[in-house]
Amino acid sequence: MAFSLEHLVNMVLEEARPYISEINWTREKVGKIMETVSQIDEFITVLEKEIEKAVSTRKTDLKIFLIYFQKRVKNVARERNTGRKF
């Protein structure tokens, strides 16, 4: 199954939601990033730059999102290689 960047981001937002204090801001921020990139690696690079610029709580929220996103991407890649769903 192919996953679009938008689909992955939405899945991760739902997974990480309980741990993110400013979910609406985070959703808006990653939405703006998605408008500027088309590839997963580009998305991660821009997100990492945004983390550097963010302030305290928002920085933490973006880091939490990034950790969940990277985990999801690894699982999708593993699923493609093994044919198993995670």
Q: Which structural domain, as residue segments, surrounds residue 51?
A: 5-82
pLDDT at site 86: 45
Per-residue pLDDT of the chain (86 residues; tens, 9 = 90+): 456 899 999 999 999 999 999 999 999 999 999 999 999 999 999 999 999 999 999 999 999 999 999 999 998 877 777 665 54
pTM tops 0.85: yes
Total domain count, the chain: 1
Give pairs for 43-47: CB < 8 Å, separation 24+.
Answer: 43/5, 43/9, 43/69, 44/69, 44/70
